[in-house]
Structure 1
Amino acid sequence: MTRDDSRGHAAVRDPARLHGPEILAGAVQFRVWAPRVERLAVRTRGRDWPMRDEGDGWKVAEVPGAGAGDRYVFVLPAGEARPDPASRRQPEGVHGPSEVFDPARHRWRARFAGLGLEELVLYELHVGTFTAEGTLDAAAARLPALAELGVTCVELMPVQPFPGTRNWGYDGVAPYAVHEAYGGPPALLRFVDRAHALGLAVCLDVVYNHLGPEGCYLPTFAPVFTPRHPSPWGDGLDYDGPAAAGLRSFVIGAAVQWVRDFHVDVLRLDATHAIQDSSPRHVVADLCLAVHDAARRAGRRVHVVAEDDENDREVLDPPPAGWGCSAVWADDLQHALHALVTGERGRYLVDFGRPADVARALAEGFVYQGQVSRYRGRPHGTTTTGLAPARFVTCDQNHDQVGNRPFGERLPSLVPWEALYPVSALVLLGSGTPLLFMGEEYGEQRPFLYFTSHSDPRLARAVTEGRRAEHLAAGAGEVPDPQAEETFLASKLAPRSDGRHGELLAHYRRCLAIRRRHLPDLARGWPEVRQEGTAIALRRPGLELRVNLGREPAGGLGPWAVDLLER
């Protein structure tokens, strides 16, 4: 959609204002992209308001007197009432009416311009299990402790509405809204404001590769799925078909909204390798351009980070050759470390397990840069030459690597406690942008399991049986039922700072303090990396880190030793 600006030439309308309600002086304009529906009405304030057709599938109605807090639904020709696919708030869940929400009512206390990519230390958390209360306000109360730890950016797993009260968040269906059990959009505004007051950036995990199966009403209004792009979730989103313009503006508008209205500093795009798009410019590239434009207008630094398992620099290279993402989740270091210290070699870990893999990940970002992957049965990856180390987000644990295990075991349950020290030191002081998974800083040993709370009985049964069959086939035996509340409750953190937990916490604090002191060195480029058996050494002008990742002495170091020298 375009409009003519005052200079007489076409200008692209802000995508974040294209979909969903817009609050005007004394009225609300309701807009919905609905090429599949001939006639629509919006039901609000006690009556149905017919929507006019603006062409290209757009339906619009202005309702005088409407404002923030008003509930509404769209009424289909046969009389069915449906929530707005671009709803800003779903106070009664994904199946209930939508609500007009005005983020401009929030009075920002903190001024925060964002952080440079090399300054980021990410801390990934799931709102529902991070605290006993499971809300954004409760999580905000824990932010001072994270700032004191040395974290600089808090990454929230998806907070968009999903069915029920328990979910990882990747089954979201309302990409412009915030899950009500977490506190809804007002709580997210408060969370970001509190983080910024502490000097912390906020990263939001967003999902644009699929929509959840329950409560997904967008296909009622528009043709957004296609069998041309099969995905793990069924037909894929149609970003390059006849109706692609509407779908592309729908997801790009959601991304821009988080930056413009909620002051989010980093967007983490889930599974971009699952987004199939043969357009001249990939939808992720368009999203990056729109997000960076919104950031420039606001005078802030905003980063787009892609989760992409193809080891393809196209994700990072600037347009027109690439998508222009700031950074990519680089799983090779995690896989290399995990395979080496646990001895596990199942599935994708068959490609790892050698100390040299750890060394190459630290020295170059990707281990696989075109050589044949046994797991994939084909050449995998591209060169990283010319790419800065900060553009690779690295970790030793994250929600996928823990939660996709049959029993959700964290690393402390799989290796000797002493092994946590060298592994974490390589991540925190290594070459990439480090990411911690909630609780790892003190050695959390409670699992992080896969959990859901679907209300559709058939879907709930399918999820339970599918999870059980998947892991039985892999020889794991009986696994926790994702639909059971106890599975969710077992995943809540139990923070500890006594004994060895306190000692590990002090190690994390020390490593992150050293990282801050040597930030200029870390930002200059890749370190010199040497490997001797299970011993790994990283050297920079002002810092040398030597660790042993084995149970036997190596490289002049004892088992699981960590040796740090600051100059």
Structure 2
Amino acid sequence: MHVFTVWAPDATTVEVEVGLAGTPPTGGSLVPMARDGGGWWSAEVADSGHGTDYAFHLDGGDARPDPRSAWQPEGPDGPSRVFDPSRFAWSDGSWAGVDGRGALFYELHVGTFTSEGTLDAAAGRLDHLVDLGVQVVELQPVAAFPGRWGWGYDGVDLWAVHAPYGGPEALQRFVDACHARGLGVCLDVVYNHLGPAGNYLPEFGPYFTDEHETPWGTAVNLDAPGSREVRAFVVEGALRWLRDFHVDALRLDAVHALVDDSAVHVLAELSLKAADLSDEVGRPLTLVAESDLNDPRMVEPARDGGYGMQAQWADDVHHALHALVTGERQGYYVDFGSLEALRTTMTGAFWHAGTYSTFREEVWGRPVDPTRHRGRSFVAYTSNHDQVGNRATGDRPSQTLPGGVLAASAALVLLGPFSPMLFMGEEWGARTPWQFFTDFPDAELGDAVREGRRGEFASHGWDAEDVPDPQATSTRDASVLDWDEPTSGRGAALLAWHRTLVELRGSEADLRDDVLGRSPSLDVVGDEDAGWLVLVRGAFRVAVNLSDAAQEVVLERGAGVEGESGAELVAAYGGELGDQDVVVEGEVVRLPAHSVAVARLR
């Protein structure tokens, strides 16, 4: 026995078809549904438990999948399948959870982390992450989307797990396997838009509104008539990942596009309910926002007028570091690349904090108050899926930068004051690209995506033939990690270096200190023209040489560091393979070209 429910406030009749199959679904038995209050319909059907396929018919129309379906075995256009999350035999009863603030995140895409591209295959690589020292595995979106491959940000069944990844029980198995190894799980979720194919929500109710515009068109209806149930669709959908799938954290995509003029923003509503759920399940639950607003209110408590997120991605930190080490100044990098930009972001998260943004052509952001905000509330990285995949060819920094510069960038992020994050393969300097790929079954849509992608980059001077075809299987295949790379040469050296940095961060309190603001314990000094800089972290100094020539760098003591003069070398990566000597004498470190040293002042 199963009770089917659906929200369809404008429908005159609703039927549930049970026991069907195929795409489009056919062959089932129609059962009329009764109208309940608030636009809801329900029907109790015998012999329709876990594993039963079903679909809804609105006013005698075609079969449509359940907007709250957890299981779409034949994709977004096929029937929904009843899923009972309580059937899974969890083994994580002793799992106490993990607070994402201050933890090391590792972002991975299920479809390219392994050649198989499944959750079960990804679980087979978890020991690598444990050995690296990862604390939270961040999965890019798993919501169901059309086709076999894709980034996941075009999901259309937001409560379902993409069938080619293994479906909902595979996600439960993956989370359980992570918890068994002491790893938390963060799930990337997208509520600001739905993909261009397989989105049937508008047929069910006012899920979208013309009152607001977003980069993806009309906005999700969070404040117009009918928004109460749409908000519940978003909030309850997010909470069920935390409850039914034991996920520890959510990364909410592009929350600046969740346009909401309600008295209580949907993010604040979610944060308050997530706090209640955390009390109920007895483990911390972390909400991480991707926001373009540069507004610290994002990580301020909802009860104090903030949005209630525990952390947010810090793109300005990435931009400042990337522009400095690569010399790129196009697009949103235009205001970055100086030593001062790196210093400002490493000590305060935002570069645009009430200052003029050339890229946006307006004053942008608000400053972070170091008396109210800690570094753990900001996630920092040298790469992520956006910063790599949204380039014309999906090229990683590791495909062009020397190994020593990659090692230096890693040291600045992993030993900085923020919650650090690695993008899969970064730890060994992966030379595989991570490109934009899709697998839309609709040929017309596939052509539009292909031409749109090529047209976008042609306007920036790229030859269209140099831009990978998103619809080609080879584009996805080229983006799969090469697990032979970390076993020898530069890959092995960089992997060992990342493990060293992570171990240092875990063992030294000064390197976990997340107090922000320029001070004797947190600063960045250097010579931009000469190409060297030093990150100050309490008694530690991270000395970086980005130039093509060897240099001597004085490790200034500064106020607050007492004791006899001199410094000891703690760790170093010298040159392309990390095998050139780095020497510390007194308070001077001799750095070969493209190298980095971590020293402790005595």
> What's 1:361 paired with?
345
> What's 1:80 paired with?
62
Asked if the contact 2:102/2:418 (under 8 Å) is kept, the reply is: no
Q: Does the alignment pair 1:28 with 2:12? A: no
Asked if the contact 2:104/2:419 (under 8 Å) is kept, the reply is: yes
CA distance in 2, matches of 1:359, 1:551: 22
> What's 1:145 paired with?
128
- Report the alpha carbon displacement of residue 166 of structure 1 after superposing the two structures with TM: 0.7
Structure having the higher Rg: 2
Q: Secondary structure at the match of 1:81?
A: coil
Q: Does the alignment pair 1:425 with 2:415? A: no
Q: Does the alignment pair 1:95 with 2:83? A: no
CA distance in 2, matches of 1:322, 1:151: 29
- Report the alpha carbon displacement of residue 117 of structure 1 after superposing the two structures with TM: 3.3
> What's 1:530 paired with?
524
Asked if the contact 1:36/1:220 (under 8 Å) is kept, the reply is: no
2:497 to 499, 504, 507: 507
> What's 1:489 paired with?
477
> What's 1:518 paired with?
508
Q: Does the alignment pair 1:435 with 2:421? A: yes
2:18 to 44, 59, 72: 44
- Report the alpha carbon displacement of residue 309 of structure 1 after superposing the two structures with TM: 1.4
Which one-letter code corresponds to 1:424 in the other structure?
Answer: A
Which one-letter code corresponds to 1:439 in the other structure?
Answer: G
> What's 2:382 paired with?
396
> What's 2:311 paired with?
327
CA distance in 2, matches of 1:551, 1:326: 41
> What's 2:185 paired with?
202
1:152-178 deviation digits (Å, cap 9, x = unpaired): 111000011000001000000111110
1:415-463 deviation digits (Å, cap 9, x = unpaired): 2222111111001111111110000111111110000111122211111
Name the CA shift for 1:550/1:355 in 2 (closer, same or farther; >3 Å). farther
TM-score by length of 2: 0.88
CA distance in 1, matches of 2:261, 2:217: 19
Q: Secondary structure at the match of 2:75?
A: coil
> What's 2:355 paired with?
371
Q: Secondary structure at the match of 2:267?
A: helix
1:38-83 deviation digits (Å, cap 9, x = unpaired): 2101111442111111122111111133211111000122341111
- Report the alpha carbon displacement of residue 520 of structure 1 after superposing the two structures with TM: 7.0
Once the two structures are overlaid, the 10-residue window that deviates more, 257-266 or 28-37, is 28-37
> What's 1:227 paired with?
210
CA distance in 2, matches of 1:371, 1:328: 20
Which one-letter code corresponds to 2:339 in the other structure?
Answer: P
Asked if the contact 1:359/1:536 (under 8 Å) is kept, the reply is: no
CA distance in 2, matches of 1:79, 1:379: 50
- Report the alpha carbon displacement of residue 521 of structure 1 after superposing the two structures with TM: 5.3
Which one-letter code corresponds to 2:2 in the other structure?
Answer: V
| Mapping 1:188-199, distance limit 5 Å | 188-199=171-182
Asked if the contact 2:505/2:511 (under 8 Å) is kept, the reply is: no
Asked if the contact 1:521/1:542 (under 8 Å) is kept, the reply is: no
Asked if the contact 2:102/2:377 (under 8 Å) is kept, the reply is: no
| Mapping 1:328-343, distance limit 5 Å | 328-343=312-327
Q: Does the alignment pair 1:540 with 2:564? A: no
- Point out where structure 1 has 5 or more consecutive residues left out of the alignment: 1-26
Q: Secondary structure at the match of 1:219?
A: helix
Instruction: Count how many residue pairs are aligned between Structure 1 and Structure 2.
Output: 541
Name the CA shift for 1:426/1:240 in 2 (closer, same or farther; >3 Å). same
CA distance in 2, matches of 1:139, 1:108: 19
CA distance in 1, matches of 2:400, 2:364: 28
Q: Does the alignment pair 1:474 with 2:464? A: no
Which one-letter code corresponds to 1:301 in the other structure?
Answer: P
1:405 to 372, 391, 397: 391
1:342-364 deviation digits (Å, cap 9, x = unpaired): 11111100010101111111111
Asked if the contact 2:55/2:79 (under 8 Å) is kept, the reply is: yes
Q: Secondary structure at the match of 2:334?
A: helix
CA distance in 2, matches of 1:453, 1:195: 29
1:355-407 deviation digits (Å, cap 9, x = unpaired): 11111111111122111111111111111112110101000000000000000
> What's 2:90 paired with?
108
> What's 1:445 paired with?
431
CA distance in 2, matches of 1:192, 1:94: 24
Q: Does the alignment pair 1:565 with 2:599? A: yes
> What's 2:137 paired with?
154
Asked if the contact 1:87/1:99 (under 8 Å) is kept, the reply is: yes
Asked if the contact 1:224/1:238 (under 8 Å) is kept, the reply is: yes
Q: Does the alignment pair 1:56 with 2:42? A: no
Asked if the contact 2:504/2:511 (under 8 Å) is kept, the reply is: no
CA distance in 2, matches of 1:120, 1:438: 16
CA distance in 1, matches of 2:221, 2:337: 39
1:81-104 deviation digits (Å, cap 9, x = unpaired): 111011010011110000000111
1:518-545 deviation digits (Å, cap 9, x = unpaired): 2575145234213111433333345332
Q: Secondary structure at the match of 1:531?
A: strand
CA distance in 2, matches of 1:178, 1:165: 13
Asked if the contact 2:102/2:420 (under 8 Å) is kept, the reply is: no
CA distance in 2, matches of 1:36, 1:518: 60
> What's 2:585 paired with?
none
Name the CA shift for 1:521/1:510 in 2 (closer, same or farther; >3 Å). closer
Q: Does the alignment pair 1:291 with 2:274? A: yes
CA distance in 1, matches of 2:203, 2:33: 16
Q: Secondary structure at the match of 1:56?
A: helix
> What's 1:257 paired with?
240
Which one-letter code corresponds to 1:517 in the other structure?
Answer: S
> What's 2:563 paired with?
none
- Report the alpha carbon displacement of residue 546 of structure 1 after superposing the two structures with TM: 2.2
> What's 1:11 paired with?
none
Once the two structures are overlaid, the 10-residue window that deviates more, 394-403 or 359-368, is 359-368
Q: Secondary structure at the match of 2:198?
A: coil
- Point out where structure 2 has 5 or more consecutive residues left out of the alignment: 20-27, 555-589
Which one-letter code corresponds to 2:281 in the other structure?
Answer: A
CA distance in 1, matches of 2:532, 2:463: 36
> What's 1:344 paired with?
328
| Percent of residue pairs bearing the same amino acid type | 46
1:245-295 deviation digits (Å, cap 9, x = unpaired): 010000111100000000100100000111111111111111111222112
Asked if the contact 1:266/1:304 (under 8 Å) is kept, the reply is: yes
Once the two structures are overlaid, the 10-residue window that deviates more, 112-121 or 282-291, is 112-121
Asked if the contact 2:110/2:139 (under 8 Å) is kept, the reply is: yes
1:307-366 deviation digits (Å, cap 9, x = unpaired): 001111121111242111000000111111111111111110001010111111111111
